[in-house]
Amino acid sequence: MSSAPSTGAPARVSPDGVSRAGIAYAVSAYALWGFLPVYFIALAPSGPIEIVAMRILLSLVFCAVLIAVTRTWRAFRALVRDRRVVLIMGLAGVLIFVNWLTYVYAALTGHVVEAALGYFINPIVTVFLGVIVLRERLNAVQWTAVGISIVAVVVLTLGYGQMPWIALVLAFSFGFYGLIKKRVGHRVDAVSGLTLETAWLAPVAAILLVVVASTTGLTIGSVSGWHTVLLLSAGAVTAIPLLLFAAASRRLPLIYMGFIQYFAPFIQFVVGVVVLGEPMPPERWAGFGLVWLALVVLTFDLLRGARAARRAANLEPV
């Protein structure tokens, strides 16, 4: 996506050199993601399959319009000619389809708190995947965080009476999705990536809509005008936070993005407990407490690594 024309004025930064616009973009992106369950609940009586199928098709349309407006078709065509990138984006599309379907199902069936858990443990899953897939080595502090998170899953399993599969599917699908995006991130921008992913999924989405129409029936246009407007907004609701996130990523250090990412699951957790009144028995509080402890440990290691990197940079000769 092409950047806006420069006005000649320097970007406003805080005293520590961090872009204020970057922080605003990041907070906006994660806040919008945090309130997504409210949006999906407002789409009732639409089912998860209809919502996700509409989300895929409308996201594709929205991204195509953005590419046309920003005149980046040439760059997009260059990506399409790269067979490896196209295939990788197809795999990313499968993972994001699983993630979206699970998330919408969680929102519509009263499992918003469990969905929030999935995104709380996602950073730990990402670390775990780094060890398993990328053969990265963890230090003692990182292993401690992983160990605490495993204990947390055991506690929550006992509390739920079953494995918290919604949280685990969300965490691992988005973890693998992030791993794939990391491999091609230097070549594929946010809009082009989402365009390729939804283009792969568009035939599947169309088939799903036909199946829903021939069985339970589509809800779009049959409930109310407000419901139709909300459902037709699915493309914008999907793409706008992603674009804000991409803008924030270009302006903020990774450590700031790491902190702000917890806004989304925290808002989801509050929505689930306070707004929707989902039950939180003591064993769930204990499990969430362990997850939050693991995140504190992981954050401590992140801060320590950032300070060490800054000290090393300051000691290097100019």
Is 5 part of any domain?
Answer: no
Is 4 part of any domain?
Answer: no
Determine the 3-state secondary structure of 197 from DSSP.
Answer: helix
Determine the 3-state secondary structure of 310 from DSSP.
Answer: helix
Is 182 part of any domain?
Answer: yes
Domain range for residue 293? 20-315
- What is residue 310's predicted lDDT score, i.e. its pLDDT? 66
Cis, bond preceding 265 (omega within 30 deg of 0) = no
Is 1 part of any domain?
Answer: no
What span, in angstroms and rounded, lies between the C-alpha atoms of 107 and 123?
A: 21
Is 13 part of any domain?
Answer: no
- What is residue 95's predicted lDDT score, i.e. its pLDDT? 94
- What is residue 201's predicted lDDT score, i.e. its pLDDT? 95
Is 261 part of any domain?
Answer: yes
For the chain (318 residues), the mean pLDDT of every run of 10, in chain order, is: 42 57 87 92 92 94 91 88 90 93 94 91 81 77 84 82 89 88 77 90 96 92 91 91 81 71 88 90 88 85 70 62
Three-point CA angle 209, 212, 215, nearest 5°:
150
Q: How many angstroms separate the Cα of 274 from the Cα of each of 39, 145, 161, 204? A: 16, 28, 23, 36
What span, in angstroms and rounded, lies between the C-alpha atoms of 141 and 100?
A: 32
- Cβ neighbours of residue 141 closer than 8 Å, sequence gap 6 or more: 297, 298, 300, 301, 304
What span, in angstroms and rounded, lies between the C-alpha atoms of 70 and 68?
A: 6
What span, in angstroms and rounded, lies between the C-alpha atoms of 287 and 283?
A: 6
- What is residue 133's predicted lDDT score, i.e. its pLDDT? 79
Domain count, the chain: 1
Is 170 part of any domain?
Answer: yes
This prediction's pTM = 0.83
Is 45 part of any domain?
Answer: yes
- What is residue 306's predicted lDDT score, i.e. its pLDDT? 65
The model's pLDDT over 168-195, given as tens digits with 9 standing for 90+, comes to 999 999 889 888 877 776 778 888 888 9
237 close to 230: Cβ distance less than 8 angstroms: no
